[in-house]
């Protein structure tokens, strides 16, 4: 449904931001935000980004948090880029 929401918002903004950086308890309980950054959810997250990028003509941005290992963070960024993310912001 991210793609549908992006299409609705597109005429009113310059980019769409997918916030994968929220570490709050409510994000944990709802399984969103930074709790989607684990390997088990990677295919889901990349499919969301890919669908959004296909649905609109404006950039898709992703906000993430650093993972435990730098190599894992780099791999995540590469996967998001390959899925269609135009910009990735990283919380330290």
* Catalytic positions: 22
* β-bridge pairing 60-65 and 16-19: parallel
Query: What pLDDT, on a 0 to 100 scale, did the predictor assign at position 7?
Result: 98
The model's pLDDT over 2-40, given as tens digits with 9 standing for 90+, comes to: 999 999 999 999 999 999 988 788 877 788 788 788 899
Give SS3 for 14. coil
Q: What is the DSSP letter of 84?
A: T
Q: Give the pLDDT score at 4.
A: 97
| Largest interatomic CA distance in the chain | 38
16 burial via Cβ count (<10 Å: 0-12, 13-18, 19+): buried
Express each pLDDT in 74-86 by its tens digit. Answer: 999 999 999 999 9
The model carries a pTM of 0.90
Distance separating alpha carbons of residues 73 and 5, to the nearest angstrom: 27
């Amino acid at each position: 449904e991210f793609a549908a929401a992006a299409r609705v918002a597109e005429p009113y903004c310059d980019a769409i931001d997918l916030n994968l950086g929220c570490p709050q308890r409510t994000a944990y309980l709802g399984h969103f935000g930074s709790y989607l950054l684990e390997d088990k959810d990677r295919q889901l997250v990349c499919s969301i980004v890919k669908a959004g990028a296909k649905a609109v003509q404006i950039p898709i941005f992703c906000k993430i948090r650093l993972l435990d290992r730098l190599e894992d963070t780099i791999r995540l960024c590469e996967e998001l880029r390959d899925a269609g993310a135009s910009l990735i912001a990283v919380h330290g």
